[in-house]
Structure 1
Amino acid sequence: MSVKSLMAALLATAISPATARPEPDLWRRALSASDVRTCAVSDEAPHVKAPKANPWAPITPDDVKAVWSYVHAPEQGLNLTAPANATLNDNYVFWVDTLYLNKTRVLSYIDGDAAQPPKYARVVIFEGGKEKPVSQEYMVGPLPVSEKTSVAKYDYPFNGGQGGAIDFDGRYYDGKRSAGYQSLLKGAMSEVADITKALFDGEYYGSGDNRTNLVAASTGPNSLDATQSWVTIMFRYPGLASYMTPIDFYIILDTTGTDVRTWSVRGFVTNTRFFKTAAELRAAYEAGELKNEFPQTKDQTWALLEKRPEMGVRDLEDRMAPQNIEIGGKRYKLDREQQYVEYMGWSFYMTFTRVLGLMFYDIKFKGERVLYELSLQEAAAQYAGNQPKAANTVYHDTYFSIGTYSATLVEGYDCPFGSTMLNATFPNNDKTEVHPQAICIFEADSGYPLARHRYGSGAHATGWSHMASVKSSALHTRHVATVGNYDYLFDYAFHIDGSIEIEVRASGYLQSSPYYKDQGKFGPRVGQSTQGSYHDHVLTFKADFDIVDSKNALQRTDLIVVNQTQPWFPELGTFEQMELSVSNFKTEEQFNWAANGQSMFVVVNDEKKNSFGTPRGYRLVPGRSNIHLAIQNSPLSRKSSQLLKSHLAVTKHHDTEPYANSWQNVNLPLKPQQDFSKFFDGENVDGEDIVVWFNLGMHHFTRSEDVPVTLYSEAVSSIVFAPQNFHDRAQEGDLQNRRWIVSNATSGELTYEDYGVQLPTCKVALEEPTSKLEAYSYI
């Protein structure tokens, strides 16, 4: 009997044995009008009390207010001016955040009987009022503010030579610095307004002038080593899709120093030509040497992310698309106050910072720690082109405080209906800003069985046939950060087999360029006068593994080809065979995935073995689009982006190396505040507390399908951490969501075991939300 015939027979067979549960259809479950109930999808996750208070939690709103008052008090001697009243030549607080806690102190609390370590605030002060103006980081604590609280320079995490200080010309380009060049920009562009009007039907007289019909947008970096500073400004037509309507005109300003009166025009660029002065530009224009061969459209409707009636309607698309519903109720528990989660053997804490966004700590599976920390370190992009925007753009999104751009998620679209929604909170001046429902947690069907096997076929038609299938699911924690033109979706999935998947997706508008017919090597034409500029996205993560404890190693298993002979087949002579070569990394190293996937990398604990004597570990499994930065030696990213230049790296953990990058590094490519290359100083990593740094991302080969926006379905990168001999067997034997089916092809008898989990018989009723979403608020 064929497989198809056997299945047909099984489906047509009634269940009669007393040992069998009646089931009208083992393979499909149809609903009838008389056999339904309502499945609510908005129930709260059951509460669980965290084992201990979350030591990594953000500082409280009261602490934010108290720290703000503390540093502004005259007795601290910081001579601060309120930011609203400050100028470039004043000292003022730029931002406040939660300070990173040293691992050594936390472990004695989370694993032992030590008291909870006190929290500290991280305060960035722009000290323009000093004789040598700098940006300086400080640590303020312990908190809450008391007579024990003090303020000290936060220098120790940075290895660039100046600690937490950065000279003025390399510091963050905030609104006060931007305001300083507005008069210069207005004057320079007004002088050539007749030229930009003739070439591009656009003029710029300053952002507040009614005659202005262009948008000025800057790019970075703005310095190389903090000894100079510049601003590159591109122009676009205004509108909802402004990123897609650039014009071929750029101005570069020299903004070195704190005296705006000394700032000057470095030059203009158009037609891929550089003109040092407005006079040189005008001479070329009057000589007829400048042209606009592909005029940009001012109509931006072609680039809006909206329904396009002219594209028609797909059949049956008026029906609601399939949804992931937690149909049996929530199977994870949550301590909202402590940001602590338990799910199917997993447990972990969460926290949130303005610079790095969502972070995970003390990740355990079945009570044993796998990771101490899992966190984003950087989200970078470097562009290619032959004009100042594309050719000279490098972004580090921590520079913009990526966490502050995590905003409200759309239930049912960004996250499934019924997801648990959490707020993202972070300090903003002396208040705490709240972005409601910016983080979601949900369990999702994986779309495939965790495991399945059928024994028996047509060759065994007279015997018994067995089939087993185990349902697969994962708990997802997700947020989306919209930094400028890109929406980065960060998804952390905790699978029921004990594996963790980290996935990043990118959507949003291209930072496009004007189209040039002879520059297809930088990207394709995607609009009337718009080119999709090629660029690399690279996102660096930190994985501080603690496999059972902190004495870990990174093991490399190479699949090698050797020549062998076999005495039982002497006639084959010498021929190729495969072998495994196993070794541990001895010292700190940056390295890449092996060609053809012929190397396996596993974080192991050689002192902790499973019952078969094999070291327990977690494997690093490359997913989709595991890349590193293509450019290795550009002056715009030479030393500031070292962390982006390999797939992977392993270092020994130090409390003095909590970050792979500095959030201000992007303006210091030749003299970074944090130089990742200095992490690799020959230290032993075999049997030590080690950290694995890994990169996700994509070489963005832009395409017309990036219009209106890049699609999440294609722009995706991922990695999996999977148990490798961590257990004695696969972690599926304790799962009840499974079916064990036994059939007798001769008698037609069919029995099955559901382990107490019956197929649901319900219809879905999407409940109205109990409360309306509130706008961003401040505490």
Structure 2
Amino acid sequence: MHRFLLALLGVVSLVAGTALPPLGYERRLLRDAWNKRQQTDNSSGSCFSGAAPPAVAPKENVWAPMDAADNHAVWTLLHDPSSGLNLTLPINATLSDNYVFWLDTTPMNKSAVLPYIDGDGPAPSRYARAIIFRGGQEVPDSQEYFIGPLPVSAETTVQPLDYIYNGGDGGRVPYNARYFDAKRSAATEPLIAEAMSGIADITAALFQGGAYYGPRDNRTTLSITSGTPLSFDGTQAFRNIMFRFPGPATYMTPLDFFLLIDCTGTDASRYFVKGFVTNERFFPTVADLRAAFEAGELAQEYNQTLDGSWALVDRKPELGVRDLEERFAPGIIELGGKRYRLDATQKYFEYMGWSAYMSFSRTLGIMFFDIKFKGERIIYELSMQEALAQYGGNQPKAANTVYHDTYYSLGTDMGTLLEGFDCPFGSTLWNVTYHEENSTIVNQDALCIFETDSGYPLSRHRAGGGPSDYGFQSLGVVKGTALVVRAVATVGNYALNSVCSDYLFHVDGSLEVVVRASGYLQSSFYYPDQGKWGPRIQQATQGSLHDHILTFKADFDILDTANSLQVSELIAANQSQPWFPELGEFEQMELNISYMQTEQQFNWAPNNQAMYCVVNRNKTNAWGEERGYRIVPGRSDVHLSVANSPWSLKNAAFAKSHLAVTRQHDTEPFANSVQNVNLPWKPQQDFAKFFDGESVEQEDLVLFFNLGMHHFTRAEDVPVTLYTEAYSSIVFAPQNFFDRAQDGDLLNRRWVVPTAEDTLEFETYGVELPSCPIEISEPVYGISPVVTQEDAI
């Protein structure tokens, strides 16, 4: 028997023994991830080898978010009377007061960072950023500030953060377009309660006793929701409110009733009802609505379900049990021990030639900086810029809904990952922190790092014509693996397993970004004549058609900051060849190679008949070819379907093409702003203005790319959308960056040669199959340790 089979049987015999848990394992409590991470002793021979080996970051992580001490000091400084901001503590504030909305870290200027990370320059100064709602001004607004340098000292100043926004008002946002926080919501509640109380008899008759008297009234049996945008240009504010049956699956139980209100300004006494919508009709007044009701014109064709248990993500016994499903499903296990190194303090990793720093933002989630392969920089920054969803429909909530998830502070919604299900057992789990007022919040185990088997060989080839019955002379197979960084952010009704995405660092030097979406649909009440906006998916529920567009930024530095975007088009050309005279002129494909000259947004070529590469024209490989990285479209690389919707007219330009290339500027760190969703006609950050005719030939280039999916809703979206099809990806792959494929230096391979004795010889290159028991302990999941600042990104 061959050596590799003997080794494999050694593993199987140990796995099949007492080490595996008995049947019914899924009913037992999962082990605590923290305890497993602390078990670094491998004397038992367990395949779980504990923590990753240490790495030492070459420089301090200057992109790291500010810590708890800095946050507290900044908060104290802002509230000091000497700041002149006249702030009220948020807990005591009203709409007419000035108060801090949130604190985060100001993005680092690349021009200040490069001398430090590439040379002997000083570490750049760090700054905080704060959004302050200024209701106490004569013209109320929201203004963003930057505060620094940090740590707070006599040199620290508080200045308007205007330079990163191009909409004309800098960091200022009109009051009516500012974030609709709890205080603004509370200001509209009396009007909503008054309007709905007056028609409680109508709603009770139409919706199985459903009525709304206010959130704290015991007679209330309905819940409310409203989306964004809530303004067009900041001169007005409105809420289009939909009513639903409450419960854990309220997103899936919408009712056919909408209240439209105007809530412009800080004086709630001026708010008014614009009208009601039901039965696909608009009623400007209560009198109009009541007349239609009394005439019997509002009868509902379908009753919404009162029991929402069908929409819960638990097991449904009525569906039965599949054969052998009582056995624990297979998983990824780092059998030979962790093959990546971490500097947990600096949030820096090294893996099979890769190295990078990580950071975290309350709005963007996970970000990567100084991404290198084999010591050469490829990307300066890789980060998600926005997760946008736009809906369509013939009902107010669906027709006008556009979400920008950064508006909801996407990074703060990165929650605890369930080890063994969200991430493989044995993954490295890190916390993330963000700041709320003068406190620091820790989301435990919100990011996981693990190495995965690619599920296919990296490379494989068999040379034929062997001397024996095996039929080949030699066989070479290289194992494919990648390091994965993953987080899951649950924003509202969707759990987007990629709002931070999966970032895969492949051993061949390719970098892949994958996004997946799961979660409750934002559904609509079902009408048979509205099938153009989605199918019926439950008794009285329609799946609302919508787009998910996730915009990413990749600041390429192929070897240095002088890069170009090469376009290699496959064209059909007519030509003749003298050795085929009988063919005369015939059609053949060839490459038409050019370089983009100016900043622009563009789409993938039809039939993918163009290759886009970021190259350094001043650097060549051994064969004289320009070194670069190819942008490889993956699955479902889409852009926004609607270009001229009034709800996303000018504030979503970043989502309206597959790709965009711009010159890097410190004044353009973000494609969007966190309050832009309420300014579709007059955006604070206008992405279209990035494209002002600047050259992109041998310049510092930034590539923006879009992933996502057109969500053609279906019954199988109940209870939640499945990750299987809600999937999108892109790959950055070496294109003449090296002189040959980056697999020759990998030891995890097999070279197989037949012998004269009709046996096979296996060259293992010193990497033998591990033989060890797999031990899974099962303490209670979720016991949290004491968390220190060093534990968190």
Normalised to the residue count of structure 1, the TM-score between the two structures is 0.95
Summarize deviations over 1:527-547 as a string: whole Å, max 9, x none.
Answer: 000000000000000000000
Q: 1:195 aligns with which of 182, 202, 207?
A: 202
Contact persistence 2:7–2:769 (CA under 8 A): no
Q: Which residue of 1 aligns with 2:396?
A: 388
Deviates more, 1:665-674 or 1:561-570: 561-570
SS in 2 for 1:194: helix
SS in 1 for 2:698: coil
| 2:182 is the counterpart of 1:175 | yes
Q: Which residue of 1 aligns with 2:151?
A: 144
Alpha-carbon separation, structure 1, partners of 2:455 and 2:298: 57
Summarize deviations over 1:306-342 as a string: whole Å, max 9, x none.
Answer: 1011111111100010010001000001011100000
Alpha-carbon separation, structure 2, partners of 1:759 and 1:45: 20
The structural deviation recorded for 1:47 is: 1.0
Q: Which residue of 1 aligns with 2:87?
A: 80
Q: 1:755 aligns with which of 756, 765, 787?
A: 765
Distance 1:775 1:80, change over 3 A: farther
Alpha-carbon separation, structure 2, partners of 1:179 and 1:716: 38
Alpha-carbon separation, structure 1, partners of 2:579 and 2:101: 76
Distance 1:771 1:257, change over 3 A: closer
Q: Which residue of 2 aligns with 1:11?
A: none
The code of the aligned residue for 2:590 comes to E
Alpha-carbon separation, structure 1, partners of 2:785 and 2:397: 35
The code of the aligned residue for 1:123 comes to A
The structural deviation recorded for 1:218 is: 1.1
Q: Which residue of 2 aligns with 1:321?
A: 329
Q: Which residue of 1 aligns with 2:215?
A: 207
Q: Which runs of 5+ in 2 are unaligned?
A: 18-43
Q: Which residue of 2 aligns with 1:774?
A: 784
Contact persistence 1:433–1:777 (CA under 8 A): no
Q: Which runs of 5+ in 1 are unaligned?
A: 1-13, 16-21
The code of the aligned residue for 1:195 comes to I
The structural deviation recorded for 1:762 is: 2.4
Q: Which residue of 2 aligns with 1:10?
A: none
Summarize deviations over 1:194-229 as a string: whole Å, max 9, x none.
Answer: 001001121000010111110111111000000111
Distance 1:123 1:616, change over 3 A: same
Alpha-carbon separation, structure 2, partners of 1:770 and 1:491: 27
Distance 1:770 1:474, change over 3 A: farther
The structural deviation recorded for 1:31 is: 3.0
Q: 1:242 aligns with which of 231, 240, 250?
A: 250
Q: Which residue of 2 aligns with 1:373?
A: 381
Alpha-carbon separation, structure 2, partners of 1:74 and 1:778: 32
Q: Which residue of 2 aligns with 1:357?
A: 365
Distance 1:603 1:33, change over 3 A: closer
Q: Which residue of 2 aligns with 1:7?
A: none
Distance 1:124 1:190, change over 3 A: same
Q: Which residue of 2 aligns with 1:517?
A: 528
Alpha-carbon separation, structure 1, partners of 2:727 and 2:278: 35
The structural deviation recorded for 1:402 is: 0.3
| 2:583 is the counterpart of 1:572 | yes
Alpha-carbon separation, structure 2, partners of 1:679 and 1:303: 43
The code of the aligned residue for 2:246 comes to P
Q: Which residue of 2 aligns with 1:156?
A: 163
SS in 1 for 2:290: helix
The structural deviation recorded for 1:749 is: 3.2
Contact persistence 2:466–2:472 (CA under 8 A): no
Q: 1:452 aligns with which of 447, 451, 460?
A: 460
Using the aligned pairs only, state the percent identity: 60
The structural deviation recorded for 1:368 is: 0.3
Alpha-carbon separation, structure 2, partners of 1:764 and 1:536: 43
Q: Which residue of 2 aligns with 1:553?
A: 564
Alpha-carbon separation, structure 1, partners of 2:60 and 2:129: 21
Q: Which residue of 2 aligns with 1:404?
A: 412
SS in 1 for 2:657: coil
The structural deviation recorded for 1:289 is: 1.2
Q: Which residue of 1 aligns with 2:24?
A: none
Summarize deviations over 1:570-591 as a string: whole Å, max 9, x none.
Answer: 1112211000011111000000
Aligned ranges for residues 82-121 of structure 1 at < 5 Å? 82-121=89-128
The structural deviation recorded for 1:32 is: 3.3
Alpha-carbon separation, structure 2, partners of 1:776 and 1:403: 22
Alpha-carbon separation, structure 2, partners of 1:462 and 1:167: 76
The structural deviation recorded for 1:178 is: 0.3
Distance 1:32 1:219, change over 3 A: closer
The structural deviation recorded for 1:33 is: 5.4
Contact persistence 1:434–1:776 (CA under 8 A): no
The code of the aligned residue for 2:706 comes to N
Contact persistence 1:35–1:761 (CA under 8 A): no
SS in 2 for 1:89: coil
RMSD: 1.8
The structural deviation recorded for 1:761 is: 1.9
| 2:721 is the counterpart of 1:714 | no
Q: Which residue of 2 aligns with 1:291?
A: 299
Q: 2:491 aligns with which of 483, 496, 516?
A: 483
The structural deviation recorded for 1:39 is: 2.4
The structural deviation recorded for 1:354 is: 0.4
Q: Which residue of 2 aligns with 1:184?
A: 191
The structural deviation recorded for 1:777 is: 7.9
Deviates more, 1:337-346 or 1:109-118: 109-118
Summarize deviations over 1:621-679 as a string: whole Å, max 9, x none.
Answer: 00110000000001110100000000000000000000111111110000000000000
Distance 1:357 1:619, change over 3 A: same
SS in 2 for 1:221: coil
Contact persistence 2:47–2:336 (CA under 8 A): no
Alpha-carbon separation, structure 2, partners of 1:542 and 1:400: 20
Q: 1:339 aligns with which of 331, 336, 347?
A: 347
The structural deviation recorded for 1:427 is: 1.1
Alpha-carbon separation, structure 2, partners of 1:28 and 1:717: 38
Alpha-carbon separation, structure 1, partners of 2:404 and 2:247: 25
The structural deviation recorded for 1:118 is: 1.6
Q: Which residue of 2 aligns with 1:609?
A: 620
The structural deviation recorded for 1:416 is: 0.4
Alpha-carbon separation, structure 2, partners of 1:94 and 1:610: 51
The code of the aligned residue for 1:31 comes to V
Distance 1:198 1:581, change over 3 A: same
| 2:293 is the counterpart of 1:312 | no
Distance 1:486 1:462, change over 3 A: closer
Q: 2:509 aligns with which of 498, 504, 507?
A: 498
Aligned ranges for residues 555-704 of structure 1 at < 5 Å? 555-704=566-715
Q: Which residue of 1 aligns with 2:34?
A: none
SS in 2 for 1:518: helix
Contact persistence 2:465–2:472 (CA under 8 A): no
Summarize deviations over 1:379-403 as a string: whole Å, max 9, x none.
Answer: 0000010010100100000000100
Contact persistence 2:211–2:222 (CA under 8 A): yes
Summarize deviations over 1:570-623 as a string: whole Å, max 9, x none.
Answer: 111221100001111100000000111100000000001101110100000001
The structural deviation recorded for 1:750 is: 2.1
| 2:412 is the counterpart of 1:435 | no
Aligned ranges for residues 419-434 of structure 1 at < 5 Å? 419-434=427-442
The code of the aligned residue for 2:110 comes to K
Normalised to the residue count of structure 2, the TM-score between the two structures is 0.94
Distance 1:627 1:216, change over 3 A: same
Alpha-carbon separation, structure 2, partners of 1:738 and 1:418: 24
The structural deviation recorded for 1:725 is: 0.5
Aligned length in residues:
759
Q: Which residue of 1 aligns with 2:265?
A: 257
Alpha-carbon separation, structure 2, partners of 1:691 and 1:710: 33
SS in 2 for 1:282: helix
Distance 1:688 1:266, change over 3 A: same
